[in-house]
Amino acid sequence: MRIVVQRVSHAQVCVEGNEVGRIGHGLLVLIGIEDADRQTDADALAEKLVKLRIFDDERGVMNLSLLDTHGEMLVVSQFTLMASTRKGNRPSYIRASRPEFAIPLYEYFCQRCTELLARPVATGQFGADMQVSLCNDGPVTILLDTHTDL
């Protein structure tokens, strides 16, 4: 499981011109899922994510977490995170899980984040053509992968 985490001042996701998710200050999380991923991967990422100290404290040092700041979270599925570009110029998405496998794990991850934050997370619409707008705060962008980082 791979996620791109962006600290944002605000973010939103639209499908066919309709807003399906919006947050203020917090984290935009793009998530890619592969067949090797399990609920334990989702658990580990959710735990790491809500405790990741990437928000500034009163001294301007990144020392606070989403839990500390009571920030919001927007989770958007993005199969292209699993792209392989090793061969040729056209990315291969063979590592990305099919929807029948990925959707339950995506929903589990969102539910786990909701439980850990004790408030709902906003989401995109799995498998839809989405337009994501954000204002990256910092900018702060971090990549986490359960098969290499945790």
Q: Which residues are catalytic?
A: 78-80
For every residue of 78-129, DSSP letters joined together read: -GGGG-B-SSSSS-B-TTBPPHHHHHHHHHHHHHHHHHHHTSPPEE--TTS-
Listed in order, strand segments (DSSP E) in 1-121 are 2-15, 18-23, 26-32, 55-56, 62-64, 72-77
